[in-house]
Structure 1
């Protein structure tokens, strides 16, 4: 199942290291079939508050996403970003083509019923 690396960068300062990081990151993604879906594009906040930018990278599966993040090639360039950007990164599983949100609602309903019965 597809997995994603999602980054929320809240604070960044321009620096030559960031340019080097962006120039080198694709080579670290290629062995894991990672590809950018979003890379800091324009966004509109429609609910809540949001400061910063978003990066979304798609991988064939969780193993590839985790393998990329832990890879020596990525770990080598990682300080080029982390020394100049404040943010959070998560790896999250996608949903399959037959995903039905009603099934998630049923899980929530069961949890609520269990709490009420406790």
Structure 2
């Protein structure tokens, strides 16, 4: 069953760190089955606090998403994201059939 990792960038604090993150994060995707479904496109917040941007990544399952997140390549990139902005990130399992 597919799994999704969702990022919401709430506030940037160091844009240089985010540049480094943007350079390193793609390396963690190499050789992995994942699809970017949304990537900092136009957005409209309908409820809650404003956000600066959002990303949605689809993985084959929760194990694949966890493996990507905890991989050495992503953990190296992550350090720059954490220094560069406040994010909320979560993983959620998909459903087999559309409701």
Tell whether the structures are fold-level matches, with TM greater than 0.5. Answer: yes
CA distance 1:68–1:59, shift in 2 (3 Å): same
Measured after TM superposition, the shift of residue 13 of structure 1 is: 3.5
Residue of structure 1 in register with 2:6 after alignment: 6
Normalised TM-score (structure 1): 0.74
Is 1:29 matched with 2:32? no
Q: Deviations over 1:52-93 (max 9, x none)?
A: 121111111111100011111111111111001101110111
Residue 99 (structure 1) shift: 4.2
Query: Equivalents in 2 of 1:19, 1:31: separation in Å?
Result: 23
Contact 2:13 2:83 in 1 (8 A): no
Q: Quick one: distance in 1 between partners of 2:35 and 2:13? A: 24
Distance 1:10 1:92 in 2: 19
Equivalence for 2:67: 67
Unaligned stretches of 5+ residues in structure 1: 101-118
TM-score (norm 2): 0.86
Would you say 1:79 and 2:79 are equivalent positions?
yes
- Aligned-partner Cα distance in 2 for 1:36–1:50: 24
Conserved 8 A contact 1:2-1:61? yes
Higher strand share: 2
Residue 16 of structure 1: CA displacement? 2.3
The whole-number CA distance in structure 1 between the counterparts of 2:70 and 2:90 is 13
Identify which of structures 1 and 2 has the higher relative contact order when contacts are C-alpha pairs closer than 8 Å and 6+ apart: 2
